[in-house]
Amino acid sequence: MNTLNLLNRLFSEKTLPSALILEGAKQPVIEFCQLLWSHWFCQHNQGCGQCESCLLIAHEHHPDLHFIKPEQDGHAVKIEQVRELLDYAHQTPQIGSFQCVVIESADSMNDYAANALLKILEEPISNFYFILHAKHSSFLLPTIRSRCWLVSLQDENGIEHPTVAQQELTVRFNEVEAAILEYVQHKRDLASLLKFLEGYPLDDVLWLLQKICQHIIQKYTFIQQNEYSLDVLKTLIAIPIQFWWQFWDALIDFRKQLRKQSSFQNQLLLSRLFLILHGIPK
């Protein structure tokens, strides 16, 4: 069963999660959403193109389907736009039995807008669905991702496959993670740590560091369950978890900046990043 059929089946069975992240390039995601709506909103559940709902969607005037998008290309969704959802989310559906809001380029939101959205997602609303478009889901707050079901359309559309460098770095995941933990414990100096990452494109390095950071943060959640050896526990408590969150935020920020300009000094940027793990702000 492909992704489209699965989501349609879950919707029909009323078991679809209330919030989805559709990860992929903008146009393929929009086209995928149009296929979803043809099933969800059509009064005959088949995208007939003739019923009232289909006609309203075709003219972008369906009252139960709401869009939030950046006001200008290249800009981010603003906090004021997210706050408007509070009023919309508590309205009664005008035609069908549910409502849906689509947030385009959700991964470009700043922290204020993202936190405003998080507050809404924390209290699911009956018969109300959120669809978040994200080219890079890792740019979303972890707390938002944890409340959404991630659907990657990348493979289905033949885009965003891992680069050769990312594949090579993935093989070295454990090696690089161990080196970072040694650095945190002052068992390895910064220059030695940076040698592990020499020769790779900066964005691919930041991509790997996000995966490592996420893996380490997840370990903290199991400390209380005594699932790790004493040596591992000592490594984890060597640094407060808030440093890892600051490291995560900086990674996302730098990756966003990198997409706007490419004139970064790799060694300097990575040095600033790793100093965060020693309690030094970026």
Looking at residue 100, what is its pLDDT? 94
Mean of pLDDT values over 217-229: 57
Whether residue 230 has pLDDT greater than 60: no
DSSP string of 38-95, one letter each residue: HHHT-TTSS--S-SHHHHHHHTT--TTEEEE--SSTTPPPPHHHHHHHHHHHTSPPSS
Collapsing DSSP to helix, strand or coil, 278 comes out as: coil
Looking at residue 192, what is its pLDDT? 93
Strands 19-23, 128-134: pairing kind: parallel
CA atoms within 13 A on the CB side of 127: 12
Position 1 confidence tier, pLDDT thresholds 50, 70, 90 = very low
Cα dist from 241 to 142, 214, 276, whole Å:
14, 11, 12
Highest mean pLDDT among 72-86, 174-188, 230-244: 174-188
Mean of pLDDT values over 47-53: 84
Looking at residue 172, what is its pLDDT? 87
Measured on CA atoms in the order 66, 78, 118, 83, is the torsion positive or negative?
negative
Q: Which of 10-14, 17-21, 39-43, 217-221 has the lowest mean pLDDT?
A: 217-221
In whole angstroms, how large is the CA radius of gyration of the chain? 22
Domain 164-276: state its class: mainly alpha
Burial of 45 per CB tally in 10 Å (0-12, 13-18, 19+)? middle
Percent with pLDDT over 90 in the chain: 17
Cβ atoms of 209 and 181 within 8 Å: the answer is: no
Q: b/e for 237-276, b at 16 or more Cβ within 10 A?
A: eebeeeebebbbebbbebbeebeeeeeeeeeebbeebbeb
Whether residue 249 has pLDDT greater than 50: yes
| C-alpha–C-alpha distance, residues 57 and 61, integer Å | 6
| C-alpha–C-alpha distance, residues 160 and 273, integer Å | 25
Which tokens go with 139? 């740019």
Whether residue 8 has pLDDT greater than 80: yes
Please give the single-letter amino acid code of residue 171. Answer: V
| C-alpha–C-alpha distance, residues 134 and 260, integer Å | 17
Burial of 18 per CB tally in 10 Å (0-12, 13-18, 19+)? middle
Looking at residue 223, what is its pLDDT? 53
Whether residue 225 has pLDDT greater than 50: no
Position 156 confidence tier, pLDDT thresholds 50, 70, 90 = very low
Residues contacting residue 156 through CB under 8 Å, at least 6 positions apart: 2, 3
Whether residue 101 has pLDDT greater than 90: yes
Whether residue 133 has pLDDT greater than 90: yes
Looking at residue 91, what is its pLDDT? 82
Whether residue 50 has pLDDT greater than 60: yes
Mean of pLDDT values over 264-269: 84
Mean of pLDDT values over 86-91: 78
* Backbone torsion region of residue 279, taken as left when φ is above 0, otherwise alpha when ψ lies between -120 and 50, otherwise beta: left
Residues contacting residue 48 through CB under 8 Å, at least 6 positions apart: 42, 54
Angle at 257 between CA 253 and CA 258, to 5 degrees: 115
Residues of the chain with CATH 1.20.272: 164-276
Residues of the chain with CATH 3.40.50.300: 3-152
At the topology level of CATH, where does 3-152 sit?
A: Rossmann fold (3.40.50)
